[in-house]
Amino acid sequence: MTPPPVTQLKAPRVGLAYLLSQIGAHAADEFGQRLKPLELTTQHVGILRLLAMKPVELTQRKLAEHLRIQPSRLVLLLDELERKGLVARHTDPEDRRAKRLAATEPGLDRFRAVEALTRDLEAELFEDLSRDERAALAGLLRRVAAKADLIPGVHPAYRRLAKKEK
């Protein structure tokens, strides 16, 4: 698929963390590419994924907090999703400042298309691994994720450049 490197250089030795990061970035890039025909970005999908679980109480403030993104950034993402008719904002009758978020029917359909596309991508990425090997890989990765306190469904890329932590 990818053309071979034109400039041949002896391969440097890299560690397990690097390998993980390299493959992970590749998978994310591929996913992003395949998302284009659906007119979605990975960030949109992260939002749709949560809304597809129908948590009726979810407001923008809470969603931004959960995803670790700026509320102002979420506004733009939701504007885009709303303009496509995939997500709806409803003013909360009990607190007219807040907006309750919900995926629309077309939004759920679109998300199911993303899930199908994801299965295709995984089938290709892990084509060379047996069923047992995939399960073993998943098991190992889940333990690493748990150790790092990663939150399922919350991708670090959301807050990539977030705080300086100085």
Partner DNA sequence: TATTGTTATACTCTATAACTATA
Partner DNA sequence: TATAGTTATAGAGTATAACAATA
How far apart CA 103 and CA 108 sit, in angstroms, is 6
Q: How many distinct helices (H) and strands (E) make up the chain?
A: 6, 2
Q: Measured from the CB atom, is 79 or 124 closer to DNA?
A: 79
Give how many residues touch DNA by CB under 7 A: 27
Tokens representing residue 45 in the block: 């999908």
Residues 6+ apart with CB under 8 A from 47: 63, 67, 74, 77, 78, 81, 87
Q: Which of residues 3-62 bind a second copy (CB under 8 A)?
A: 4-7, 9-12, 14-29, 31, 33, 49-50, 52-53, 55, 58, 62
Asked whether the beta carbons of 32 and 41 are under 8 A apart, the reply is: yes
> Considering the complex, what minimum distance in angstroms separates the CB of residue 158 from a second copy?
9
Select the span of 72-80, 87-95, 100-108, 113-121 touching a second copy (CB under 8 A). 113-121
How far apart CA 84 and CA 86 sit, in angstroms, is 6
Give how many residues touch a second copy by CB under 8 A: 72
Residue 6 binds to DNA (criterion: CB under 7 A): no
How far apart CA 151 and CA 12 sit, in angstroms, is 32
> Considering the complex, what minimum distance in angstroms separates the CB of residue 7 from DNA?
11
In the list 52, 75, 108, 150, the residue contacting DNA (rule: CB under 7 A) is 75
Residues of this chain that interact with DNA (CB under 7 A) are 43, 59-62, 64, 69-73, 75-76, 78-79, 89, 95-99, 159-164
